[in-house]
Structures are given as C-alpha cells and as structure tokens.
Structure 1
Amino acid sequence: MAQTADRFLFETHWGPRLLAGRTEFRLWAPSAPSIELAMGDGAGKPAGFLPMEKDARGWWRIETDRVAVGQGYGFRLDSGLVVPDPAARAQCGDVHGLSKLVDPKAYAWKTAGWNGRPWEEAVFYELHTGTFSPEGTFDGVAERLDYLKETGVTAVELLPVAEFAGRRGWGYDGVLLYCPHEVYGGGDGLKRLVDAAHERGLMVFLDVVYNHFGPDGNYIGSYAPEFFHQEIHTPWGAAIAYDEKPVRDFMIDNALFWLEEFRIDGLRLDAIDSIEDTTDVPLVRELAATVRAAFPDRHVHITTEDDRNITWHVERENGRAALVSGEWNDDFHHTAHVIATHEEEGYYADYSRKSVAQMAKALATGFVFQGEHSKHRGRDVGRPSGHLPPTAFVNFLQNHDQIGNRAFGDRLTDLASRRVVECLQAILLLSPQIPLMFMGEEYGNTDPFCFFTDFDGELADAVREGRRAEFKKFAAFHDADARKLIPDPNAETTFKASKLDWSLLDRPTYRRRWAMVKTLLEKRQQRVVPLIAGELAGGCGEYHVSDDTLAFVVAWHLKNNAVLHLFANLDDEPWALPSDVVKSDLTCGDLLHSHPKDAAPMLETGCLPGPSVVFRIEGQKLISGTAR
C-alpha cells in the first residue's frame, strides 16, 4: 500500500486490475477445468468469450483491452454457466447478471485529507440505508447528516451494504462483498455519503459479514469448492475455508478495500463467533493487525460482535487498543431490557428483572458473564473483563438484532415505561462505555423494525416458515395460528412498515425526547469524553447494589483524578442510601446530570426517588463498600 498526496493506492488480490489501456481479470478456481472471460454487450448480456490461463496456484488470468470501463463482464465455466465476479465493484443488474468494470479512481474526493476521530469521541448511530429515509438510498442518508450532527452523533454505522439478492433486505445475505448495493446508489452513492459525512466531521462505519455468504447468488462453490469446508457446518451452511490463502486474502483485502477505497472510518465485524477458522492465527487477529499497520496516520477503528464474551481481541497495550477497539456488549443490553420489560424468555432467562446487580456489574467491569454458567446456553460463558477500560465495550439499549429479531419488530419504547427508558438512555449516553443508538431511538420512535427479505419461490417459503418456527419456544407463539400473525419477511408491506416515520418529530412528545438526547450527548462530549481520552487505565469501575430495590451506584476512576459517579434507582419506590455506603458529602463536586431534575436535590439528603438517575463528577470517591 503506497501513499500519494491525496489518497492511498491499494491493490486487492481479487477483482479486475486496470492497467495502461488494458485490464487484467482474475479468478481463483484451482479445480476448474476451464474458465473463459465473458464480455458483455451494451445491454449487459454476454456477447463474446476469451480463454483464460491458469497458473500453478489456481489463479485464472487474462489481460485484454476488449472490456471498457462501464462494460459488463463475467466468467463462463466449463458447464456453460456464466457467473459474476465475486469481487465485482459494480453489477450491470442483479447478483445473477454480469459484473460492471469501473474505475476506482474516478471519484474526486472533497475531503481527501480527513483522518478520522479518536475512538473515545464515538457515539454510534446504527441505521439501515433502505429504511432510514423515504428514498432508501445513500443520498437519502446524506440529506439527514446535519440532523444527526445536531443530535450529537459522531459515527454513522451502516448495516451491511454489500450486494444481495433482491431489492430489499437487512444486508446480512450479501454475496458480492466488494459491491455496494445498486438499489442504494452503488459505489458512487456510498462515496458521496462518506464525503458528505466527513465534511461535517462525522465518521462512517460499515457492518461487514465474514462468517457466511447469502443463500441466493453465491456462485463461488460452482467453480471453487475449495473456498468452503463442506464438512464443517455453521448456522448458514458450509464454513468458509480460511486455511486457504486466497480465501483469507479475499476477506482481509475486503476490509482494507472499504477503509481505503471508500474512506470508511471503521468496520463492525458481524458474529465473529461463527467464523470457523481452523488456522493457528484467527482471521480477526490477522485482519485487525493488518488494518492497524495499513493506516498508521488515520483514526481507523474495528468493533466486533461475539456471543462468547472473549477478551483477547480487545486487550489494551499501554491503554490503547492493540487490535479491536470495542466489543458489542449484549450483556448490558440484555440486563437493561429485562429490567425495563420484565421479559425472561429465550436468552433473557439468564438475566433477572429482580436485581440490578448484573447491570451494575456490566457497567463497572464489562461483561455480566465472565466465566459463570449460563442456563440458556448450558455451559460456562465468558472471560474476566474487569481489567479492561470501559471504552473496550460498545453498549446499547437497542440495535437491529434486538428489535428486528422480535416477532413484530417492536422497540423498547413500546415495551417499557417512558420514565424507565429515559433513565436507561441517560445511563447509556453518559457512562464511559462507547454508546450506540438505533435509528429513531433518539426521538423515541415506536415504529417496528422487522426482519425482511426479498426472496422468491421455495427459498421465500423456507425463510418465512423458518422465521415463524423460531418463535415456537415462546409462550405467545406455541399456537400455530398465533405464529401466522408474524409478518412475512418477503412481503413488501413488512419492509414499508419498517421505514422511519420522520413526521413524528413534529409532535411535542417526540421532540422532547430528542431534546433530552441532544442535551445528554452535549454533556458527554464536553464533560465525559475528556476523562476517557487517550490511554485509559483498565479496572477502573466499582459498584454497590441495593439488596431490596432496583437501585445501584457505580463509580469510575477516570483521567485527571476524576471519579464519575452514577446513582440509579429504577424502582418505583424511593431508595434511602445506606449510611455505610455514603462516604462523603453528596453536594461536593459537579452535578453532571439529573433525571428528573428533582432527583439531585433529594440525593443530597441521602434519598433517591424512583425511577431516576444522577451523575456526578468528583475529585474523590463518594461511596464505600463497593466491589470491583
């Protein structure tokens, strides 16, 4: 990777390579008896074929001047099947058609000098491009960037945008991982969005999927069965063969491709616990180390989702992330959800609505499960995480999974009391962990966000029935007739119902919630971020939990000898702080936030009303009897 005055130049192992007046096309297919380059006509149909040559490593190549930029191309197999380039940068049509040759240097960046923002400044806003705006495009997102900036968001996180079958879907069924979805606006649309975000000082993160390909439009197995381990099964089929170097290069190059070609600021690696890697060096370790080395002069960040509660990938060196910047902390979400909704089915069975000890533990030390036994999973889960700084975790009250994987896609705002949700929102946005909100959460949106796809025929039937069967274990859906009420993922009405209703912001109740979030995020950037900037020590959290009510206190020892205190009572009844807990005058230091406003004056008398939260920044610890 070489650097010029305005951009990096990076060449991937896969995909077309533009030369002087010619293009090299390449495809890894070590066991294929023959591969031909298919050249498209003006309508995106195959119009001619050229034989390709295979080298000793299984790569088929050809250099030719007969495919111009903007023209279609593909590969014809010995069976006669014409397939797209798995590393295509654009398509002439859908995932089943020819790929389109594009010039990666054609876009003129306005913000070529952008170097990103430090990790501690991140406030994530996760959105789905197709449902965030009425247009359902990258340009539709760009039109609302000023609103996001005004809200206090600093990082726009896009659900996966790699080309998938059909026009609508979550994006986790991508099959052309280098190709931005054409329905959203393709590569140019994504670059315009990133450019516009950087002009406003906003980072852009992208969710990427390296644990599987989608079920419709993935042709790799038809010419390179070596790409997969048929004998190793995952929830989505055969495992990807990461012990093959070309396969490993395909994914690591993909990460570098988004970060360099599209100037993306960071990646969220989906479900890394489902990556079945048989090598000695996990893919995530090599990928993250490669990214760190490739962009030494930019703030580039990686986050991960992992059900195992592992920590090796988020360990710190001298207070800074060595590989992954932050892990999505499902434990925090689950305990907050159970406290707010009293639900205890499915994976919520591991969390108790009767105690806030789990929430306090997550806030102070990272995970809830740090080696303890999980009833739901039937095994011990997790590793100790208390030694990590709070910024090693990304916390959230809602995200696409936790809303969309509910039968009707209902949001927390629709499931819990307004007062409790507002208290939880204050805890999320002012605690030193990195916060994430899902689109519409900032104004209390109550519209559903359902699971939706755009499949046809037998696949559509299988997805619909499989989706409904997932809910058999829940009491509300033991009856088959009840399960029929679950929205059909393939129905266009399910997709349309999931679009954000921006007119809600014209109503006072929703504008009040938005104003509250804006105030919280302004306080976060002004008062909390300076205390978590740069090298932050681990093991800085302590907590005390009430034995008889939903109340707790957390203290974080942060930079500049400051102690950030959270006093929370999520019960309906007041909480009188025990005398052996109060160590000092509760009026000293600075009041950061009180919700409701009368909670802080009551706290100073030793009593906290419910539900309420109070944040204070002090030069000393105000509580005793806490546990690390």
Structure 2
Amino acid sequence: MTTYSFGPTPCDNGFEFRLWAPRQETILLDVEGRPPQPMERDEKGWHFAHAPCPAGTRYAFLLPDGTRVPDPASRHQPEDVHGPSEIVHTRAFSWMTPDWRGRAWEETILYELHVGTFTPDGTFAAAIERLDHLAALGITAIQIMPVADFPGRRNWGYDGVLPYAPDSRYGRPEDMMAFIDAAHSRGISVFLDVVYNHFGPDGNYLPLMAPIFTDSHHTPWGNAVNLDGEGARDARDFLIENALYWIVDYRLDGLRFDAVHALIDDSEEHLLHEMARRIRAAAGDRHVHLIVENEENDARLLDRNGDGKAETYTAQWNDDIHHVLHVAATGETTGYYADYEGEEKLIRALVDGFVFQGETMPYRGTPRGEPSGELPPTAFVSFIQNHDQVGNRAYGDRIGEIAKPEALRAIAALYLLAPQIPMLFMGEEWNAKTPFPYFCDFNEELNTAVREGRAKELARLPGFQDHDGEPPVPTVPETFEAAKLDWEERLSGDHADHLSLYKRLIALRRSTVIPRLPGITGKAEGERLAGKVIRVTWRLGDGSRLTVTANLDDVDGVPIAAPAGRSLWIEGAVGASGEIGAWTVIWTLEQP
C-alpha cells in the first residue's frame, strides 16, 4: 500500500503528525481541545508527534516566534489557507465503483471544467448533477482545473498553496471523491490539473520551515521550486507524493501537469521522469494517463516503447493545433498567432503534431520544439479553446464570439474527428456565450498589484483592440459571476443546434474512429490542393486510411479531386461536380 511522508496518518489510537521543518528547531502541535504539545525533531529536520484525536479534528503548528501555520500537507482547510487544518481519513471513503480500472487512452474525449463556474453553486455536489449531460454528449473523461486550496473565495486554481487540500469553496474532500465516483459510475474518467512549478503568492508557509525554493533557478513566478539543491529530496517527495495521493486515495485516472518547462532540475533523474515512474508503479494495471503542458514542446517526454505504449507521459496539450485552427477560423494574427498563419502550418500540425520542431519561432525569437513526426497522433491533445486560450484574452471571450458560425462548425468537425485526442472546454458543446476571464480574490495589497499588472498586460493580449469599454477586473466578484455557465442556453435556438452537431460528431468518433486508433503510428501524409484546400491522410491501427479534406476559407466552389473511400461526414457543401464549398470539411474512410 502506498504510504506518505507528509500529513497526518491514522494509527491505533489517534493520528501521527509529521512536519518537514529543518529551518525550525522546535515546533508545537496545536490540536483543538488539547494543550499545545512539543514535537520531536530528528537530525534531518522532521518533527513528529502523536495525538489521540479522531478524524474531523482541527489542528495547526506553532513556530517559535508564535506564528500559527496550517499543515503544508493539509487534507482540508475549512477556514481557508490561513486557518487550521482538518484531519481527513481519505481512505475511509466508501466507493460505489471499487472495481473501476479506467479507460484506454484512445477512448478519451476530454472535457475541461472549472468547478467554481461549471454550475451556479460552483461545488462538486452541484457538478454531479451535470454528469448525465456529459455522458449523453459522449464525453469519456473530465479534466478538472486545479483545486489545491487557494486564498480567497474564487480563483482559476493556479494560485494554490496547499496542494493536498481541495479548496473548501468546492466542498469537502468527500465531495470531490463522490464526484469522481459518480463519474466512474457513468463510464467517465476523471483527470486533475496539478501545479508543481510554483506556489501562489498568499498562504504558502513552507519557506518558513523548509527549503522549498532555490536561488539557483528562476521562473516567471520567482525562485524555482527546489528540485536539485540542498533539501531537494524532501521537496521532490512533497510533490511526487501529492501526485500519488490523487491517484491512489482519490482514484483519479490521470493528471495534467501545468507548465512542466518551469520544473528546472539538473538531477541525474529529472523530477518528471521520477514522477512518471513512481506514479505508474503505484497505479499497477489501472489505466492511468499523464498529460503535460510544455511550452518547449519536448517530444522526448512523449516517447513510445516497442509496443507503442507511452514510456513516461501519455500526451501533451498541443497549443500548435489550437493556434493554426484559431487563425484559420478567425483571421487573428496578432501576437503569437502571427507564427501560425497558412495552410502549410495547418498541415504540419495535423501530420506531425508540433509546427515548430527546432526552428526559431519568430514571436519568441528562439528555437522551439523537437521533431515529433514519429509520435502517434494520440500523443497530442487538440482543442479549439481551453481555459488559457479563452481566459488569456483581454475580455475572456470565446471563439464563438469572434469566428463566424460556419467557420466554427468547420474547425469543430475537423478536430473532433481527427486521430488526436480532442478536448472540449466547458460549454463549448452548445457554443456558450459566457466569457471566461481571469479572476482571483487576494488580500487588498495583492489585489491592487493584480489589477495594475493586468492593466499593463492587456494591451498585448489577443482581442484587446476589438472591444469597446473597460475589460473585466479580475479581483471583483462580478468577473467571476459572469464566467458561470448559463445552462439554459443549451436548450434553445442556435445553441441547441450546436449541441446537436457536437453530439453527432462525438457519436461518429466513438463508433468509427476510436475503434481503429489502437496501434496507430505517426505516419501521415498531407498536401495542399487548389486554393487553400488541404488534405491529410492517416493510416489507422487497423490498416484503414482516414482522410480529411478541408477548405477553411471564404472562397467557394474550389475544384478538387474527390477523396478516396466512403464518406463519413460532410460539414459544409460539395458541388455537383465535386467542388468543395467555403468552410467545408469532408471526412472519408478507406477500409484495408
């Protein structure tokens, strides 16, 4: 059984408490209902104590200067990040689906959601009530944005400071487990977005106690997490055990690792490799999938073995496919989008995954990426919107607000049926109009800094020039409330039609594409036909050939040679003589 070094552990008579605090000579354990008691310190700076108390008891640690701190490995923070921790016996939960083993990666159709804005109540309990909608849509996996306890009442999740504690705004730990259990009962996997590259700016007490940061490496958030310096073994274990905790105790089916390029590690075994190795060992024969977000596009992290199985990480969020489809559908070429214009870039993203494979990316001014053509398309997660690509726009507007309807339908038909693993962003299936701007809730000093920093940043963000009026202020409640999905939208008019389109596309993917994905390789062919029309063909795992012919342009009636195979889907129009219409996507399949 997986054991943890961090956090309280049940024993015959109460709980054992452990705290990694080599920077403190003495620590008092303060358990509610008991006088503070001294903890024993070993030569490595670990402090230990036992207390005869039940689950549900609140506790904290007292430093010599009187500072009262929560447990860095707290399982629950009922009074937010500065309050006491609560003991939770996570392995006492009674699961309805104890035999759930997960789903094969090829079956994955991801749905990214933010718990706080997915429903009006913004809780795990409320989200359970929407699982039937996702099941009917055909979703096979949910990816939850980060839930590590963050300061304040609202946050995207990337400012978490207590990584073992699901934020109490979303409910208790048992509520999160119940959500996972309910998803499993409907055949839906659940992944969690985890953030190990930095801690939020408010409520992280670890630096008072231990060398969690290093001066040797730096990130956009300040000093890097200590992965290779003095005390790094315990810092690494703090992160790795957190990942194991989610997989083992919460029975999650996978993790998405945020910005792994900011995990700077000169150790003999990089944290990412040790992380994957230990997670896969703990998972045993379960289907557990590990996904990275990686600005550097390191294809080596996605290597397959001789059997075609992922050796370390299963897949990467592929911003490149998003960018080329976004540019094609919207015509936006500001900022980094300027590097993704043109049919050749679109073909390369569909054929190889990464557009830049060692070449200099003009926007960055430095080389980006590694050759990725040998990887199977299932090594890439594709999307036409996600929390970043919507929320990092100045006004948080979705692509449905800036792309014409026929363009939106065309790129949806392209990415939902392609062999890459598709991911929807919550509400996308009915073309939701609710924005998803950045929001947070810090103390007044930090709120002021966020408001000022965001105001300076907005001018360079996509979409800033296309709006009148002031952009949303991230620190006010109204910005958060405006991001909550309007579930009534999906029932009427164009929204209902869009939802129907998504259901039919996903049903076709599940019936025709997914069964042919096992064994697929990275061999694909792409070409530009007349005008801006492209054609890409993949050889699927069963030997069949899947072909897409797409005209992502306003020019109508482009004459082309008819694609081979039987027709699977036509989005748009095809002329009597085979001419492809504007914003038309044709899918065909040739049997082996």
TM-score range, shorter chain: over 0.9
| Equivalent position of 1:107 in the other structure | 93
Q: Report matched runs for 1:341-420 at 5 Å.
A: 341-352=330-341, 355-420=342-407
Q: Report matched runs for 1:297-316 at 5 Å.
A: 297-316=285-304
User: Is the 8 Å Cα contact of residues 72 and 92 (structure 1) preserved in structure 2?
Assistant: no
Q: CA deviation at 1:537?
A: 2.2
User: Is the 8 Å Cα contact of residues 41 and 47 (structure 2) preserved in structure 1?
Assistant: yes
| Equivalent position of 1:551 in the other structure | 533
User: Is the 8 Å Cα contact of residues 565 and 617 (structure 1) preserved in structure 2?
Assistant: yes
Select the residue among 230, 253, 271 that pairs with 2:259. 271
Q: Does 1:240 align with 2:225?
A: yes
Q: CA deviation at 1:22?
A: 2.8
* Alpha-carbon distance between aligned partners in 2 of 1:575 and 1:53, rounded to the nearest angstrom: 79
Unpaired runs of at least 5, structure 1: 2-9, 42-46, 621-628
| Equivalent position of 2:163 in the other structure | 177
* Alpha-carbon distance between aligned partners in 2 of 1:473 and 1:441, rounded to the nearest angstrom: 25
Select the residue among 590, 594, 612 that pairs with 2:570. 594
Q: Report matched runs for 1:102-251 at 5 Å.
A: 102-224=88-210, 226-243=211-228, 244-251=232-239
Query: For residue 567 of structure 1, what is the amino acid of its counterpart?
Result: T
Deviations 1:118-163 (A, max 9, x none): 0000000000000010110001111010100101111011100111
Query: For residue 384 of structure 1, what is the amino acid of its counterpart?
Result: P
User: Is the 8 Å Cα contact of residues 133 and 140 (structure 1) preserved in structure 2?
Assistant: yes
**Counterpart of 1:502 in 2: which secondary structure?**
coil
* Alpha-carbon distance between aligned partners in 2 of 1:34 and 1:484, rounded to the nearest angstrom: 55
Q: CA deviation at 1:68?
A: 2.8
* Alpha-carbon distance between aligned partners in 1 of 2:233 and 2:559, rounded to the nearest angstrom: 60
* Alpha-carbon distance between aligned partners in 2 of 1:518 and 1:374, rounded to the nearest angstrom: 37
Q: CA deviation at 1:63?
A: 1.8
User: Is the 8 Å Cα contact of residues 179 and 186 (structure 1) preserved in structure 2?
Assistant: no
Query: For residue 23 of structure 1, what is the amino acid of its counterpart?
Result: F
Q: CA deviation at 1:283?
A: 1.2
| Equivalent position of 2:11 in the other structure | 19
Query: For residue 21 of structure 1, what is the amino acid of its counterpart?
Result: N
Q: CA deviation at 1:564?
A: 0.2
Query: For residue 314 of structure 2, what is the amino acid of its counterpart?
Result: S
| Equivalent position of 1:284 in the other structure | 272
Query: For residue 351 of structure 1, what is the amino acid of its counterpart?
Result: Y
Select the residue among 525, 528, 537 that pairs with 2:513. 528
* Alpha-carbon distance between aligned partners in 1 of 2:14 and 2:499, rounded to the nearest angstrom: 54
Q: Does 1:30 align with 2:22?
A: yes
Query: For residue 590 of structure 1, what is the amino acid of its counterpart?
Result: R
**Counterpart of 2:586 in 1: which secondary structure?**
strand
Deviations 1:292-324 (A, max 9, x none): 121121100011100111111111112111111
Q: Does 1:330 align with 2:319?
A: yes
TM-score (norm 1): 0.91
* Alpha-carbon distance between aligned partners in 2 of 1:428 and 1:261, rounded to the nearest angstrom: 34
Seen in structure 2, the aligned counterparts of structure 1 residues 125 and 438 have a Cα distance that, compared at 3 Å, is same
* Alpha-carbon distance between aligned partners in 1 of 2:371 and 2:11, rounded to the nearest angstrom: 51
* Alpha-carbon distance between aligned partners in 2 of 1:524 and 1:97, rounded to the nearest angstrom: 48
Mean Cα displacement is larger for which, 170-179 or 569-578?
569-578
User: Is the 8 Å Cα contact of residues 394 and 461 (structure 2) preserved in structure 1?
Assistant: no
User: Is the 8 Å Cα contact of residues 320 and 536 (structure 1) preserved in structure 2?
Assistant: no
Q: CA deviation at 1:288?
A: 1.0
**Counterpart of 2:381 in 1: which secondary structure?**
strand
| Equivalent position of 1:44 in the other structure | none
Q: CA deviation at 1:213?
A: 0.6
* Alpha-carbon distance between aligned partners in 1 of 2:488 and 2:350, rounded to the nearest angstrom: 35
Deviations 1:180-212 (A, max 9, x none): 111101201101100100110001110000100
User: Is the 8 Å Cα contact of residues 394 and 464 (structure 2) preserved in structure 1?
Assistant: no
* Alpha-carbon distance between aligned partners in 1 of 2:552 and 2:46, rounded to the nearest angstrom: 61
**Counterpart of 1:86 in 2: which secondary structure?**
coil
* Alpha-carbon distance between aligned partners in 1 of 2:557 and 2:363, rounded to the nearest angstrom: 32
**Counterpart of 1:394 in 2: which secondary structure?**
strand
| Equivalent position of 1:542 in the other structure | 525
* Alpha-carbon distance between aligned partners in 2 of 1:280 and 1:239, rounded to the nearest angstrom: 18
Q: CA deviation at 1:506?
A: 2.2
Query: For residue 18 of structure 1, what is the amino acid of its counterpart?
Result: P
Query: For residue 67 of structure 2, what is the amino acid of its counterpart?
Result: L
Select the residue among 533, 543, 556 that pairs with 1:574. 556
TM-score (norm 2): 0.96
Q: CA deviation at 1:475?
A: 9.3
* Alpha-carbon distance between aligned partners in 2 of 1:277 and 1:312, rounded to the nearest angstrom: 16
Deviations 1:477-517 (A, max 9, x none): 699xx998121111000000001011111212111100110
* Alpha-carbon distance between aligned partners in 1 of 2:77 and 2:486, rounded to the nearest angstrom: 31
Percent of matched pairs sharing the same residue: 44
Deviations 1:580-625 (A, max 9, x none): xx4xx74x532111113x43x65xx4421111000000137xxxxx
**Counterpart of 1:608 in 2: which secondary structure?**
coil
Question: Across the two proteins, how many residue pairs are aligned to each other?
Answer: 588
**Counterpart of 2:161 in 1: which secondary structure?**
strand
Deviations 1:438-465 (A, max 9, x none): 0000011121111000112110000111
* Alpha-carbon distance between aligned partners in 2 of 1:438 and 1:270, rounded to the nearest angstrom: 16
**Counterpart of 1:174 in 2: which secondary structure?**
coil
* Alpha-carbon distance between aligned partners in 2 of 1:380 and 1:107, rounded to the nearest angstrom: 49
Seen in structure 2, the aligned counterparts of structure 1 residues 59 and 78 have a Cα distance that, compared at 3 Å, is same
| Equivalent position of 1:564 in the other structure | 546
Query: For residue 589 of structure 2, what is the amino acid of its counterpart?
Result: I
Q: CA deviation at 1:337?
A: 0.9
Select the residue among 431, 437, 443 that pairs with 1:450. 437
Q: Report matched runs for 1:458-473 at 5 Å.
A: 458-473=445-460
User: Is the 8 Å Cα contact of residues 520 and 539 (structure 2) preserved in structure 1?
Assistant: no
Seen in structure 2, the aligned counterparts of structure 1 residues 614 and 173 have a Cα distance that, compared at 3 Å, is same
**Counterpart of 1:136 in 2: which secondary structure?**
coil
* Alpha-carbon distance between aligned partners in 2 of 1:474 and 1:483, rounded to the nearest angstrom: 15
| Equivalent position of 2:82 in the other structure | 96
* Alpha-carbon distance between aligned partners in 2 of 1:401 and 1:426, rounded to the nearest angstrom: 22
Q: CA deviation at 1:417?
A: 0.8
* Alpha-carbon distance between aligned partners in 2 of 1:329 and 1:78, rounded to the nearest angstrom: 48
**Counterpart of 2:36 in 1: which secondary structure?**
strand
* Alpha-carbon distance between aligned partners in 1 of 2:489 and 2:456, rounded to the nearest angstrom: 34
User: Is the 8 Å Cα contact of residues 468 and 484 (structure 1) preserved in structure 2?
Assistant: no
**Counterpart of 1:205 in 2: which secondary structure?**
strand
| Equivalent position of 1:625 in the other structure | none
Q: Does 1:616 align with 2:584?
A: no
Select the residue among 298, 310, 328 that pairs with 1:321. 310
Q: Report matched runs for 1:41-52 at 5 Å.
A: 41=33, 48-52=35-39
Query: For residue 528 of structure 2, what is the amino acid of its counterpart?
Result: V
Query: For residue 349 of structure 1, what is the amino acid of its counterpart?
Result: A
* Alpha-carbon distance between aligned partners in 2 of 1:476 and 1:210, rounded to the nearest angstrom: 30
Q: Does 1:493 align with 2:478?
A: yes
Q: CA deviation at 1:279?
A: 1.4
* Alpha-carbon distance between aligned partners in 2 of 1:306 and 1:163, rounded to the nearest angstrom: 24
* Cα RMSD, aligned residues only: 1.8
| Equivalent position of 1:623 in the other structure | none
User: Is the 8 Å Cα contact of residues 303 and 375 (structure 2) preserved in structure 1?
Assistant: yes
User: Is the 8 Å Cα contact of residues 551 and 575 (structure 1) preserved in structure 2?
Assistant: no
